[in-house]
Structure 1
Amino acid sequence: MNYSMEIIKKNEALSKWNGAASIFSQSFISSFIPLFAIQVLGASNFQVGLISSMPSFMTMLAMIPGAIWINRLELKKMFTAYTVFAARFCLFLISLIPFIPMTNHAWILVAFIGLMNFPNALATLSWQSFIGDLIPDERRGKFFSERNRILTIVGMIVTFIAGISLNVFEKTDPVPYQWIFIIGFLFGVLEVYYLIKHFEMKKTQKQVKQMNPNMFFAMFTYKPYFYFLLCAILFNFGWQMAWPLFNIYQINDAHASAFWISLFTVANQVSQIVSYKWWGVFADRYGNTMMLFIASMGIGTAPFLTILSTNLYYLTFVNLWTGAFVAGTVMLLFNQLLRVSPDERRTSFLANYNLLIAVIGCIAPQVGVFLLEWFGIHVAMTLSSVIRWLGAFSFLLVFYIEYKNKRKKKEMNPSVPL
């Protein structure tokens, strides 16, 4: 199954519009749900940790049935569109929480976040497999760096405008949050529209229809995938255990308002925009694994640097510093995942990866909150940095193994490129 260059370029353009609409909804969720939970709904540290863990927990539940379902599809576009719409509709439901007659609305938010992330997990898996079919391997590096740059610009503008708007109101007023969640839902509808406009051809040969235990364990015998998986699991544990801690530290310790939260996000995104092209160029030159080492080392500095001060200007600078490494990490992890997943069984390999990372994402934030409650924010954040750096060095080790194997092949066959 081959797409013409005209169709590939059309799908790439539509994917950028689809992503731009998607980032509206995602920016509202990532930037303002924690603020809404803590300042409006009065969520506890445990509930904030659950909000961070819930997406991963629902991903665990969704991956296996989702992979089986998607593997049976000859066309993935409409399945992806339906699941995206279901996930974005939950934003509308979240906007209704203040109207629900219940004393502890934070628990309803936790439930709705869980409800939203089941179809969102299916949509993510389906979109990954879908876009992997549409965009050929040799165009992915350039395409994803350009797409991510555009999405980051859009997300930066949206987050900054929303943060300024929220700052006009009382921090406990739910109404402005309700409006931005409704707007997020409407852009979710636009996201579905651009997704449906993609051109997709039926596969000439159906993928494997069923996943079984033998197939599951066989994935671990494919060494490039297995090595990548081990590194990603270790790094993601350190990465995700600090996610609720950043929100708690910025809001409770540094007393950041909606304006400052949006400013942190904008600073982070500015450096992402500047660095996306750089990561793509150097990944093509030195390989994804080597650049993942550099990116994850930079990500490892974020928790350690954050706890050095509660000064809001300083925290803005820290976000500006770490944003460049976030850009590289997100892009390179996805590109490397596609590279080590065989085309004929891509959905199964993607599902297995997402499932295992979801297990980590479910456990790690709770570990972070546990360490916060028992040992304090400084110990919890420092441990997060240490584990992230261990993950970074695991990528370096894999790079060394890959380089060594290439050297052996070149010795046996001098025509093989190093």
Structure 2
Amino acid sequence: MSTGYEEIVINERYSIINGSYAMFGLTIVGNFASLFVIDALHATSEEVALLTSLPALMTVLATWLGAVWLSRVNSKKMFCIRATSVARIFYLMIALAPFFIHGPFLAFFVVLLLAVMNFPQGLSQLSWQSLMGDLIPEDRRAAFFGIRNRITTIIAMIATLLPGLALQAFPSDAIPPYQVLFVLSTLFSFFEVYYLVLHRENTERRPDVVRIDFHVREMLKPFHHAPYRRFLIASMVFNFGWQLAWPLFSIYQIQYAHATAIWISAFNVASQITQILTFTLWGRISEKYGNTLALAFACLGMAATPVMTVVSRNLFYLTGLNLITGLFVSGINLLQFNHLLEVVPKQDRTALIAHFNVVIGVMGIVAPQIGVFLLGKIHMDPAMWVSTVLRLAGTLIFFYLIRSRIRETPGVTDDRV
């Protein structure tokens, strides 16, 4: 019989291996789906916007329903296994789609597949976040997720660089190379699910949870919890500005700067190199100064990214910019999730994680559409400036929360605002 400490160590090891295999598929699909849709399938700007908005809509629906379902299951692990398995089947469906669908409708159909895939993926992500909150103690999270994120980012870099080099050997509008990549993603997902199965979940030690019903009153209830409410407001503003520019980056890099697959890989690898080197740094900063202050500085760095992007179409410049912005991406990826776990009560963890994902997901539905709308009305540079201003506004709210907390409680060192 293993002790609780041994179970924690085992789960940490399996989580890293599981995350590594998952990252292969997620990176290939995440990085090259837009290139596949734009270059190989000749998608319109509206379809590129849908490539961001429709998956966000599915994620919102999945989070909404998933929180209700997850509050009624005995094993979060089994729920996560089923959801992940269904999500990964879509990799294969995307690979096979060109054999059955032809003409202009193919691009829209692939966008639909990518969107629907995000429903089970949203269920998987929600259940995984809640499961990790149960399996990894709070005092180990910063160090563990720093190590895990660094390793999975190395995997992501490999899964970005090698496919990018391979695609460079083919015409930009060639479809079969992308199909091969999506099939490989499916194969890696088998190992992802296998190591997820190996996690040890003690359902007898799970804290009591309240069954969730998402009525209007239930959706407003989380706002009564002050630390979560404050964090959510700042995150809403920042994420709206962040996600507004997502389709603009893809359009700018591919259509304005004429980046090929190898350059898209270079952008991502540059960012990932910096992330690998700085995950543990952000973990130490958060332990010393608190999550809110560390997250605020990470958001401040990300606020400048849109306007710095449109300074030049030089591909070497854009690669260098991604090298710098990777520093702030790593901070946001690590600290936003850690801070979310920090500000939610254990007994309401699933409900509040779901609430957060739903609200941020709504931002992901609306913001990209507004970004493309602004692109058509005021063109690329002003649209990027709008993104920067909104990101900066969210950052200032984080700093305001810190100042307010210090003013309310003199001498406070805990930043749970």
TM-score normalized with structure 2 length: 0.96
Q: Secondary structure at the match of 2:324?
A: helix
1:3 Cα offset (Å): 6.7
Q: Distance in 2 between matches of 1:65 and 1:308?
A: 43
Partner residue in 2 for 1:304: 307
8 Å Cα contact 2:71-2:211 kept in structure 1: yes
- 1:237 maps to a residue whose letter is F
Residue 409 of structure 1, CA deviation: 7.0
Q: Which residue of 1 aligns with 2:143?
A: 142
Amino acid corresponding to residue 55 of structure 2 in structure 1: P
Asked if the contact 1:68–1:210 (Cα under 8 Å) also holds between the matched residues in 2, the reply is: yes
Q: For the Cα contact (< 8 Å) 1:301–1:322, is it kept in 2?
A: no
Shift of 1:102: 3.1
Contact 2:212 2:351 in 1 (8 A): no
The secondary structure found in structure 1 opposite 2:209 is coil
Tell me if 1:314 matches 2:323: no
Q: Distance between the aligned counterparts of 2:132 and 2:361, measured in 1?
A: 21
Q: State, as a whole percentage, how many aligned pairs show the same letter.
A: 41
Asked if the contact 1:279–1:291 (Cα under 8 Å) also holds between the matched residues in 2, the reply is: yes
User: Deviation of residue 316 (structure 1)?
Assistant: 0.2
State the alpha-carbon separation in 2 of the partners of residues 168 and 203 from structure 1.
54
Deviation digits for residues 183-234 of structure 1 (CA, Å, limit 9, x no counterpart): 0111111110000000000144541123254443221011000000000000
Structure 2 CA distance for aligned equivalents of residues 3 and 128 of structure 1: 23
Deviations 1:29-67 (A, max 9, x none): 221001000111000111001001122100221222211
Q: Is the partner of 2:203 in helix, strand or coil? A: coil
- 1:354-388 CA distance string (max 9 Å, x none): 00000000000000000011111101111111111
Report 1:75-86 matches (<5 A).
75-86=75-86
Q: Secondary structure of 1:73's match? A: coil
User: After TM superposition, what 4+ stretches of structure 1 lie above 6 angstroms from structure 2?
Assistant: none
| In 1, Cα distance between equivalents of 2:220 and 2:179 | 45
**SS at the partner of 2:410?**
helix
Task: Judge conservation of contact 2:87–2:117 (CA < 8 Å) in 1.
Answer: yes
Amino acid in structure 2 at the alignment position of 1:38: I
Match of 2:5 in 1: 5
In the alignment, what sits opposite 1:102? 102
> Which residue in 2 is equivalent to 1:331?
334
Q: In the alignment, is the contact (CA less than 8 A) between 1:129 and 1:347 conserved in 2?
A: yes
Instruction: Write the letter of the residue equivalent to 1:159.
Output: T
Aligned to 1:33: 33
- Amino acid of the structure 1 residue aligned with 2:296: F
Residue 396, structure 1, aligned to residue 407, structure 2:
no
Residues 1:234 and 2:237 are matched in the alignment: yes
Assess if the C-alpha contact under 8 Å between 2:21 and 2:189 holds in 1.
Answer: yes
Number of matched pairs: 409
Q: By how many angstroms is 1:403 displaced?
A: 2.2
For the 8 Å contact 1:3–1:134, the answer to whether it is kept is no
C-alpha distance in 2 between matches for 1:158 and 1:250: 20
SS at match of 2:8: helix
Per-residue deviation at 1:408?
A: 7.0
Matched residue SS, 1:96: helix
| Contact preservation (8 Å) 1:72, 1:207 | no
Per-residue deviation, residues 267-300 of structure 1 (Å, max 9, x unmatched)? 0000101111110001001111101111001111
Is contact 1:74–1:203 with CA below 8 Å preserved after alignment?
A: no
What is the CA RMSD across the aligned residues, in angstroms? Answer: 1.4
Counterpart-to-counterpart distance in 2, 1:3 and 1:336: 28
C-alpha deviation, 1:108, in angstroms = 0.3
- The gaps in structure 2 that reach 5 residues or longer are none
The equivalent of 1:209 in structure 2 is 211
Unaligned 5+ residue runs, structure 1? 411-418
Q: Distance in 1 between matches of 2:179 and 2:401?
A: 46
The residue number in structure 2 matching 1:178 is 179
Distance in 2 separating the partners of 1:68 and 1:158: 35
- Judged with a 3 Å threshold, the aligned counterparts in structure 2 of structure 1 residues 409 and 265 are, in CA distance, closer, same or farther, namely closer
On the 8 A contact 2:164/2:265 being kept in 1, the answer is yes
Aligned amino acid, residue 302 of structure 2? I
Give the structure 1 partner of residue 265 of structure 2. Answer: 262
The question of whether the paired residues in 1 share the 8 Å contact of 2:55 and 2:116 is answered with no
Q: Of residues 354, 358, 363 in structure 2, which corresponds to 1:360?
A: 363
Q: Is 1:90 aligned with 2:90?
A: yes
Q: Is the 8 A contact 1:51 1:113 kept in 2?
A: yes
- Could you tell which deviates more after superposition, 94-103 or 175-184? 94-103
Amino acid in structure 2 at the alignment position of 1:260: W
Distance 1:41 1:290, change over 3 A: same
Find the aligned partners of 2:101 and 2:64 in 1 and give their Cα distance. Answer: 36
For 1:342 and 1:52, the matched residues in 2 are separated by 31
Taking a change above 3 Å as real, the CA distance of residues 182 and 212 of structure 1, as seen in their structure-2 partners, is closer
Q: Report the AA paired with residue 361 of structure 2.
A: A
Tell me, yes or no, if the aligned pair for 2:228 and 2:343 is still in contact at 8 Å. Answer: yes
CA–CA distance in 2 between the matches of 1:103 and 1:346? 46
Q: Distance in 1 between matches of 2:404 and 2:340?
A: 17
Q: Does structure 2 retain, via aligned residues, the 8 Å contact 1:211–1:348?
A: no
Contact 1:149–1:276 under 8 Å retained in 2? yes
Q: 247, 252, 261: which is aligned to 1:249?
A: 252
* Aligned position for 1:23: 23
Match of 1:132 in 2: 133
- The amino acid of 1:207's aligned partner reads V
Letter of the 1:59 partner, please give it: T
| TM value normalised by structure 1 | 0.95
Q: Is the 8 A contact 2:64 2:214 kept in 1?
A: no
